[in-house]
Amino acid sequence: MGTNGCILSSKDGITWTSQSSGTTSWLLGATYGGGKYVVVGDNGCVLISPNGIIWINPNQSATTARLNNVTYGNGRYVAVGEGGAVISSADGLKWELGNSGLTGWLRGLAFVRGFDYATDYGSVVFTPGSIPDRFEAAGQGGIIITSVDGISWTRDTRTYDFYNGLFANDIEALMPEGPYNSSAWRDDISVGSAGSVENSFWYQWLSHAGAVTPTEYNNITAVPNPVELRAVAQGGGRLFVAGENGTIFENSEAYRAEGAALTDWTQIDSGTSANLVAATSVGDAVFIVGDGETILSYTPPAASRLTNISCRAQVGLGAASLNAGFVVGGRGTSGSLPVLIRASGPALAAFGVPDFLPDPYLRLYWRGVGADYVTGNAAWGGGSLMLEEASAVGAFPWVNASSLDSALALTVSSGPYAATIETTTGDSGVALAEIYDALPAASVTPSSSRLINISARAVVGGGADALIAGFVIAGTDPKTVLIRASGPALTKLGVPGSLADPVLNVYSTVHSETPIVTGTNWTADQGLANASTWVGAFDWGNEPTLDAAVLITLPPGSYTANVTAASGDSGIALIEVYEVD
């Protein structure tokens, strides 16, 4: 959006369409949440839309000040602007005036997730509390204020680093960062005048009184070309800042050490001299906009890819079958993809699984327009080709050529597929479904088709009846993934007996005891909702539910995503892992 009420929208970030806003006001900030788009601008202008196309002016924004930014979190919209103006709303229609205590302008704004913290010193565990979810606003003179409700605001009293002193540069933009190790939590990154970049983090300190208290610290640096920076975004494991004269700097900060300052900036040729004023991202895709209707987009080449999913679950008759889905394709790709699909039952005995499914029957279905059966297998037969394929993709070996394990090795075109594992004799037991990208690493190019979505549906219970999905990220760069555990959401799709309250835990197989991240209770989070829409996941709606999801950038490696029941009951659950490119 921009001057004269201009609003442009796009479904793919490539083709943009002008929409009628019904105003000539200068529009400066936009957000999405609670099922609505909200845009704010000059003279207290607020516009709302259910779809980004039809716009309504509620004519009640509680201020006539210019509003520079708006965001959404925990069921509330918050907007900030000139003269310290702060307004908030639960529905986007009726707005309430807040009290920032400021007279200078505010432009940076973000909703920052809180965290619970605990640290272990020897045999004593300290669990003193948590940092709450909150809104953060920043602006003139480097001031930062925070609020848990968007109405009452307090001055942020973070501690600044010893080398650069108090941060006094104007702050033009601010974005949240997530947790990144067991003893420190990232908080926010802000940019502003004189090329300044500030990154904040929380750290635990053990006091002499025997308690752990969190302290917020800042590192303050500057990009090599000290222009005024007005935009910041993350994508593809990289940080991007942008500002005057088409200036863009990149920082590959994905492996930045705990509390380390942001250094090692690389300037990018943007191809424009326009002033760049705002940036956002969806997964790995970054968009930067500026003067003269300049729209820049960047999606890093697929230097990493999902190469394998494995799902273990209890399998029985009918609805108790194990369904593993996958989608082949990817932005900028073409052609087909060789895959190896296996259904392990008896082969699991070698791993000490006593109640394995003795007779897994593997079927493959096309799930595009005109869904149809492709092929199937009831016993793999010990063929040398299948052994060679398994060895090439790193699958564990099957040693019994006469076992009733099942497998398929074939080449598939782009599109959605489902591999189902059923019992042929009515038995039940634990089975493992595996889907491998079988394209040799030496043949992979950025345009090679790849696995962009992998999923599994099964009955979830307690203990050994958890739904366990493993996935592998291969390559050199981090990859942003959306992981969802659907239970109640399946009811909308006509699935009876869905799991009432799924809990999602994601683990690294290298450090498998402590979850990297846990997801519970969908709250219509803006980032998760945007990512779900972007990747084409089925809609969970705008109201909080007990479904669970996480959006996270992970380095190459092996991971498991476990779905269990919070209340110990059982039911059908669906786990999905999406590449967010």
pLDDT in tens, the chain (581 residues): 999 999 999 887 889 999 999 999 999 999 988 888 999 999 999 999 988 999 999 877 799 999 999 999 888 999 999 999 999 999 999 999 999 999 999 999 999 887 665 544 343 444 445 778 899 999 999 899 999 999 999 998 776 554 444 557 899 999 987 654 444 566 788 999 999 988 887 765 544 444 556 677 777 788 998 899 999 998 877 889 999 999 999 987 544 555 566 778 999 999 999 999 999 988 778 999 999 999 999 876 667 889 988 988 888 777 678 889 999 998 778 889 999 999 999 999 999 988 899 999 999 999 866 668 899 999 999 988 899 999 999 999 998 999 999 999 999 999 999 999 998 888 889 999 999 999 998 888 878 999 999 998 888 876 667 888 899 999 888 888 999 999 999 998 888 889 999 999 999 876 667 888 888 778 767 778 878 888 889 888 877 889 999 988 888 999 999 999 888 788 999 999 999 87
Residue 473 has a pLDDT of: 92
pTM strictly above 0.85:
no
Tokens of 543: 């109201």
CB 131 within 8 A of CB 216: no
Tokens of 24: 């000539």
Q: List residues bridging with 361 in a β-sheet.
A: 422
**DSSP sequence for 253-320:** -TTPPTT------EEE--S--SPEEEEEEETTEEEEEETTTEEEEE-----EEEEEEEEEEEE-SGGG
Nearest to 493 by CA among 457, 521, 526, 518: 457
Residue 124 has a pLDDT of: 40
Residue length of the chain: 581
Residue 512 has a pLDDT of: 67
Burial class of 375 by CB neighbour count within 10 A (0 to 12, 13 to 18, 19+): exposed
Residue 370 has a pLDDT of: 65
What torsion do the CA atoms of 238, 518, 526, 326 make, to the nearest 10 degrees? 80
Q: What is the per-residue pLDDT across 97-142, written as a single tens digit (0 to 9) for each?
A: 999 999 999 999 999 887 665 544 343 444 445 778 899 999 999 8
CB 79 within 8 A of CB 73: no
Residue 259 has a pLDDT of: 55
- DSSP single-letter state for residue 148: S
CA distance 276 to 279: 8
